[in-house]
Amino acid sequence: MSTKKDIRMRIEGLRVELAESGVEILKGISLELEAGKVFALVGESGSGKSVTSMAAMRLLPDALKITGGSVQVGEQDLFDLSESKMQTVRGRRVAMIFQNAMTALNPVQTVGQQVAETLKLHTSLRADALRQRVVQLFTEVGIPDPAQRFSFYPHQLSGGQQQRVMIAMALACEPEVLIADEPTTALDVTIQEQVLQLIRELTRSRELAVLLITHDMGVVRNTADDVAVMYRGEIIERAPVDVFFHAPKEAYSRRLIDALPDLTQFQSAAIEEPLLELEEVKVHFPVRKGVLQRVVDVTRAVDGVSLKIGRGETYALVGESGSGKSTLGRAILNLEAVAGGSVRFNGVSIEHLGRRAMLPYRKQIQVIFQNPYSSMNPRMTVGEIIAEGMVSLGLGLDAVQRQERIDDLLTRVQLGPEYATRYPHEFSGGQLQRIAIARALAVNPELIICDEPTSALDVSIRSEVLDLLRALQQEFGVSYLFITHDLSIIPSLAHHVGVMQYGKLVEQGSAEQILTRPGHPYTQALLNSVPRMDP
């Protein structure tokens, strides 16, 4: 005997277009969110996933307008409500968790005050009862020492704890519907697993209807009950999760699944001639206290790390946020003072070189940053961005030769010379990361430090960027230090792997050895947290 579905939110025929041009962004989106279930909406950037959620909450910017359809919560059509009535629905009946908790939280208010603000708006709780309710919520979402954390500011919490505060805020007024827009994109695998587990548990215990927006198919497989695939403003396929992953109907859906890295194919780990050698490298930051700011202790961000990177090889450095990965990368670049040990590049110790003496090595060691949007000057064209290093580091090319090199690099990263006159805001995240790769290659480096270069990219775009990095390595013989918290990309990319925890390298070896026969409990915990396609 079939039971009647408890539908908490129904979106029917939702249409959104650009206000000025009339170009349609959403083309008749329909979906139902059921109590006690997670509905995943997947697709690449620009497919319309976030626009769907913002339209449902009536939070679209002025540049977009709703031209058709309805959004019902229970018997109430949200599009029929005045803005003042809609404000009583947001947070109370429908709540939202945003992608980046650090930018969504107010930096000048304590996290306790921010959650209390939501409760003040929608309930009659005040004073001690209000504080007790916030502490209760913090306890429910697993924030340690919840009474103490009430008075913490966002910057005093880790990324995972910030996301838990966002979840507590969303759950404060016991909503019927929870919209989670890429809630784990920037989180470490262990923190991601904790947040997803929390969402799963709360979905069941509170009978929530959850809309999970994501581009990570592993997250979908492990978290959702049902899935819909969006492509260019339309839902092209929907199915229960098990059915979808065993027999996707659309070619685009199959492409998304096939773009996931193969965890069984490893790079050969032959020992090459060392290009970079680190021996007992230490980076310490002073801890100051008192009116005179005297140094009372040191933070051992990097604490005695030794490793070697061969010519033409990729060394993946993995670990959670705060483990010291990026600090080590900056120490190699001589952007952080080394407190002990040595950094040898091509057999030369470079850890204490001055600015002028370091210049030749700036050409030989380049870097690709995590966020290409913030690492490029928005007022410069792509051609100027790529040429900047050639000029400042004295590559010795005239204007014609520089332009030829720019055109060649843009072609090699699969864009094209015609892109040189455009500005960064005209590109997608994946295209900008290709430009960042071209910029790094412009000065003929021997080593490129890649600091989380694919963490914010869609699965298919990520796959393309990784393929490009591999192809360029084979062509130019460049070495990579690949800093990442995404263990799933390691088999297809890295020859050797080092695992960092609390500033120490707790384990290192070939990629196959680390991923199939980990020896350290921390490495095992990281691997166990990776979302799997066969949960």
Instruction: Give residue 295's domain range.
Output: 274-528
CATH number at residue 393: 3.40.50.300
What is the crossing angle of helices 127-140 and 111-122, to 10°?
A: 110
Among 251, 302, 252, 313, smallest CA distance to 278 is for: 302
| Residue 88 included in any domain | no
Find out whether 278 and 343 touch, Cβ atoms under 8 Å. yes
Work out the pLDDT band at 1, boundaries 50, 70, 90: very low
CA dist 162 to 174, 197, 324, Å? 19, 16, 20
532: helix, strand or coil: coil
pLDDT digits (tens, 9 = 90+) for 263-297: 677 887 766 789 999 999 999 988 888 888 888 88
| Residue 126 included in any domain | no
Find out whether 478 and 468 touch, Cβ atoms under 8 Å. no
485: helix, strand or coil: coil
Query: What φ, ψ does residue 101 adopt, rounded to 5°?
Result: -65, -35
Burial class (CB in 10 A: 0-12, 13-18, 19+), 108: exposed
CA distance 215 to 185: 9
Lowest mean pLDDT among 123-137, 180-194, 297-311, 462-476: 180-194
Burial class (CB in 10 A: 0-12, 13-18, 19+), 155: exposed
CA distance 389 to 410: 15
CA distance 196 to 87: 28
Token pair, residue 418, equals 């015609």
| Residue 252 included in any domain | no
Give the pLDDT mean for 19-33. Answer: 94
| Residue 337 included in any domain | yes
Token pair, residue 422, equals 């455009």
Mean pLDDT of the chain: 89
Q: How many CA atoms lie within 13 A of 201 on its CB side?
A: 10
pLDDT digits (tens, 9 = 90+) for 430-467: 788 889 999 999 999 999 999 888 876 777 778 888 88
- Enter the DSSP assignment of 380: S
Q: Which pLDDT value is given to residue 279?
A: 97
Q: Please give the tally of structural domains in the chain.
A: 1
Q: Which pLDDT value is given to residue 370?
A: 76
The full DSSP string for 32-75 is: EEETTEEEEEE--TTSSHHHHHHHHTT---TTEEEEEEEEEETT
Query: What φ, ψ does residue 382 adopt, rounded to 5°?
Result: -60, -40
| Residue 153 included in any domain | no
Q: Which pLDDT value is given to residue 81?
A: 94
Work out the pLDDT band at 489, boundaries 50, 70, 90: confident
| Residue 191 included in any domain | no
| Residue 509 included in any domain | yes
Work out the pLDDT band at 317, boundaries 50, 70, 90: very high
**463: part of which helix (H) or strand (E)?**
helix 459-476
| Residue 250 included in any domain | no
What type of residue sits at position 534? D
Among 207, 197, 205, 143, smallest CA distance to 169 is for: 143
Find out whether 215 and 463 touch, Cβ atoms under 8 Å. no
Lowest mean pLDDT among 133-137, 363-367, 369-373: 369-373
Q: Which pLDDT value is given to residue 533?
A: 64
